[in-house]
Amino acid sequence: MDFNQEIITTIHDFNMDFEMLRRRLRSLSYRYPTGVIIPVLESELSSPAIQRIVEGLNECDYLRKVFIALSATSGCDAALEAFEGLEVPFEVIWCNGPEVNAVLEELKEAGLDITRMSGKGKDLWIAIGIASLELYAFAIHDADIVYYSEMLPTKLLYPVVEPHLDFLFAKGYYARVNMENKRMYGRIYRLFILPLLEALQEKFGHRSEILSYFRAFRYILSGEVAITSDLALNLRIPCDWGLEIGMLAELFRNISYKRICQVDLGIYDHKHREMTKDELLKTAGDSFLTLLRTLTETEGIEVSEPFLLSLQVIYRRVAQDKIRQYHADAICNDLNYDRHQEEMYAETLAGVIIDAGREYLRHPASSQMPDWIRAISAMPDLRERLREAVVK
């Protein structure tokens, strides 16, 4: 059994008891109200995963409210229908709706323009501002989770709410394995981010504190987290698929390692995307851009064409070593593992280092949302105005 601890505290699931955790969160709910934020795309509203999420959340009677951060072109009706069985009070935030856009236009007139930004990060930013008006802490997770259960928000929220602990942020980790088809997923993390972090650490001579910090997380790309409202208001987050790495980079800048933990969510599966330019390769590219910006900010690295080429060479070697290890793990666990295909994926991902790296050289400025503290200073009643815009 794994008891390992690194610089980030790991909370293993040796014997977690949902009823005990739920009772404790319920007893703390008056002093520390909690909720859940779920970013949702319009295309996800008909997924069977939504009903599993609703059923799981209905078991979490300690929750004050659920916020559905909706990106849609045709209004909120479909989202209200999809979540109508939810017994926990909930609000649908139409993040790109006309009412919200009107408020953001006023913010632009006040000197802070976020109207040109779009994506999951922006939707999440809007929901965080509204949720922070009434919640001490909230869990965040996607709407495409296949193996959802009531334990997911409970495991995430408990460490940041329990006063006997001292955490402000909890990040979920899990094994991306589908037990029905016996496939190992998490390809961008396994085949790109993890070997890339090792390659960068090797290139820097193992001296980078932030790379050691990133590598301490068991699944850096997981989107399942819990965070206190006060901390969330102080974070700049990327709009694009670099969101997860960007959030961890902001935590590195703002709080001590001792206030961060990661929690075992078990075996986990959600919607699988294709290794195409618009899907997984987009995630890889955005994540790499965020990583380069973070290393420039914290380490003062000089990104250049020779830097990218040498990094690509090291990455290829590390990725091939990882594939050999994954192959052994798959054989011993009777998983279906196509080693040749994984090697081809790694070659494709090696090209992302050059393509995304050149994009960074052309446009090194970040596409982060401003932290909420700045937004409030520009428009003091912004959160209240947004809440008025979405509550019908």
Is residue 31 included in any domain, yes or no?
yes
pLDDT exceeds cutoff 90 at 213: yes
Q: pLDDT (tens digit, 9 = 90+) per residue, 231-248?
A: 999 999 988 888 999 999
Q: pLDDT (tens digit, 9 = 90+) per residue, 315-351?
A: 999 999 999 999 999 999 999 999 999 999 999 999 9
Q: What is the 3-state secondary structure (H, E, C) of 214-273?
A: HHCCCCCCCCCEEEEHHHHCCCCCECCCCHHHHHHHHHHHHCCHHHEEEEEEEEECECCC
For position 169, what pLDDT does the model report? 98
Q: How far is CA 173 from CA 20, 149, 181, in A?
A: 21, 15, 21
Domain residues for the domain of 58 are 9-193+207-270+368-390
Is residue 296 included in any domain, yes or no?
no
Task: Give the residue from 137, 115, 106, 114 showing the smallest Cα distance to 36.
Answer: 137
Is residue 363 included in any domain, yes or no?
no
Q: What are phi and psi of 265, to 5 degrees?
A: -100, 5
Is residue 299 included in any domain, yes or no?
no
For position 271, what pLDDT does the model report? 60
Q: What's the domain count of the chain?
A: 1
Q: pLDDT (tens digit, 9 = 90+) per residue, 44-77?
A: 999 899 999 999 999 999 999 999 999 998 889 9
Confidence of residue 371 (pLDDT cuts 50, 70, 90): very high
pLDDT exceeds cutoff 70 at 177: yes
Is residue 94 included in any domain, yes or no?
yes
Residue 341, sorted as left (phi over 0), alpha (psi -120 to 50) or beta, turns out to be alpha
Separation between Cα atoms, residue 105 and residue 115, nearest integer Å: 7
The pTM is what? Answer: 0.94
A 10 A CB-CB count for 106 gives: 11
Separation between Cα atoms, residue 293 and residue 301, nearest integer Å: 9
Is residue 213 included in any domain, yes or no?
yes
CATH code for the domain of 246: 3.90.550.10
For position 181, what pLDDT does the model report? 83
Is residue 334 included in any domain, yes or no?
no
For position 268, what pLDDT does the model report? 66
Cross-strand pairs, 60: none
For position 269, what pLDDT does the model report? 62
Handedness of CA 172, 175, 177, 183 (dihedral sign): positive
Q: pLDDT (tens digit, 9 = 90+) per residue, 87-119?
A: 999 999 999 999 999 999 999 999 999 999 989
Cross-strand pairs, 37: 67, 140
For position 368, what pLDDT does the model report? 86
Is residue 111 included in any domain, yes or no?
yes
Please give the structure tokens belonging to residue 372: 């909420």
